[in-house]
Homo-oligomer: A and B are copies of this chain.
Amino acid sequence: MVASAATVDGVFRALSDPTRRDVIARLTRRPASVSALAEPFDMALPSLMQHLGVLESSGLVRSTKTGRVRTYRLVPKRLQVAEHWLAAQRDLWERRMDQFESFANSMESEQ
């Protein structure tokens, strides 16, 4: 389950904006309509909708329209794309630290 570079790009890019992270954080709690999501921001509605577009095209969020209300919900699986990439780096880093430690230990035991 290795996400393509473009997918990872999109996810990290989407998360690099504080407005969008705030939207994600709120959708983590519950689904919400466009206007509910827009309410706390001092921003024109179309601007916020652009952010929603970025989130949706990154796959972090999905929306459906019922009547005149469009409801957004989180796609938690998509957050894993970022989590996995970070976990892979951590793993490598820890291996490196282990190597370094065993090297340091072998130096010590040779004295």
Contacts and interface: CB of A to CB of B under 8 A. Distances in A.
Contacts of A34: none
Interface in A61-111: 74, 76, 79, 82-83, 85-86, 88-90, 92-93, 96
Contact of A21 (B8, B18, B28, B83): B8
B89 A24 contact: yes
Nearest to A89: B28
A45 interface: no
A47 interface: no
Nearest to A13: B16
B79 A28 contact: no
B92 A28 contact: yes
A58 to B, nearest CB: 10
Nearest to A8: B21
Given A29-B92, A29-B96, A93-B76, A16 B16 contact: yes
